[in-house]
Amino acid sequence: MFEKKNSYLKTLHYLSLDVVVGAVACSWIFWKIPDGNGAVNLPSILILGICTWIIYILDRLLDNLNSEPQDTRHQFHFQHQYYLQIGIIILFFIASILALFLPRNIIYFGVALSILILIYFYTLQKKSKSANYQYFKEIFTSFIYSLCVVGSAFSAKINLEWQAYLAGFIFFLLVHQSILIFSFYESQAYPATKNLAKKLGKTNCTYLILGVLAISTISIFFTDNVFLQKVFFIETLMAFCSVLIYFFHEKLAKNENYRWLGEMVFWLPLMLIFF
């Protein structure tokens, strides 16, 4: 019974549904800015979850076109690629229906973002044979993901204080911190791999990862807005948890435990429901 339940959880993890939950949870706090009473547009946040899921599935499928699947997640996508491709079509259809209920500003943002994502995937394909392919991918993945989560909420707001945009920028740093940590673990597990962590080296990775924690901590003192202070505190907690994952490498590398823990860091904004 336990093994069967564990198998289901692994499948959900390989499908990146934990990432989808994290994206929705993080976007929710940006919808609540500036005072915690901001109205959340349900169709928008559902489309965000769907699009995040599509992008992650498509990203794995494209990776498998360029190279043999190495880790278990890519192997899962390779084995089930037919059903995943059908799933992408169904998800796109659902998102298209939900888009009919979006406010005009969010529609404009979505169109611009869609064009940017198409350019992103096109460029990835062009750069797939380049030695800098993986470095480019890791940097722009964090940018696109952050833009989806923060931009979808902020596109519906006007006259936001600069501290709100600072919270959005720190979120980008958190995403980059997380990707860098994953990159570090992969470089340790697969020494032949080329990624950003390996290019930077462990010392520079450590400085960058700790730097995100320092910036997020300092940000708490940049505003008197109670809700924004809570947002900055949650972001600091996220950075701190990611730092722990980085430094406990030897314990968390087994069975890729670091990955699901790292992705669940982005569930922490759900704490604001209770505080």
3-state secondary structure 176-235: HHHHHHHHHHHHHHCCCCCCHHHHHCHHHHHHHHHHHHHHHHHHHHHCCCHHHHHHHHHH
175 pLDDT exceeds 60? Answer: yes
Query: How much is the pLDDT for 2?
Result: 40
Q: Could you tell me which residue, 195 or 160, shows the higher pLDDT? A: 160
The rounded distance, in Å, linking the Cα atoms of 135 and 183 is 10
The rounded distance, in Å, linking the Cα atoms of 179 and 173 is 10
Half-sphere exposure of 132 (CA within 13 A, CB side): 5
* Type of residue numbered 74: H
Closest alpha carbon to 110 in 20, 25, 45, 17: 45
Query: How much is the pLDDT for 23?
Result: 93
Q: Count of CB atoms within 10 A of residue 157's CB?
A: 14
- pLDDT bin (cut points 50, 70, 90) of residue 129 is low
Provide the token pair at 125.
């394909």
pLDDT > 70: percent of the chain: 93
3 pLDDT exceeds 70? Answer: no
The rounded distance, in Å, linking the Cα atoms of 220 and 210 is 16
Q: Could you tell me which residue, 268 or 135, shows the higher pLDDT? A: 268
Query: 20-69, pLDDT tens digit by residue?
Result: 999 999 999 999 998 888 889 999 999 999 988 988 888 788 777 766 77
pTM given for the model: 0.88
Instruction: Supply φ then ψ for residue 103, to 5 degrees.
Output: -65, 155
Q: What share of the chain is helix, strand, coil (3-state, %, to 5)?
A: 85, 0, 15
Kind plus residue range of the DSSP H or E element containing 55:
helix 42-66
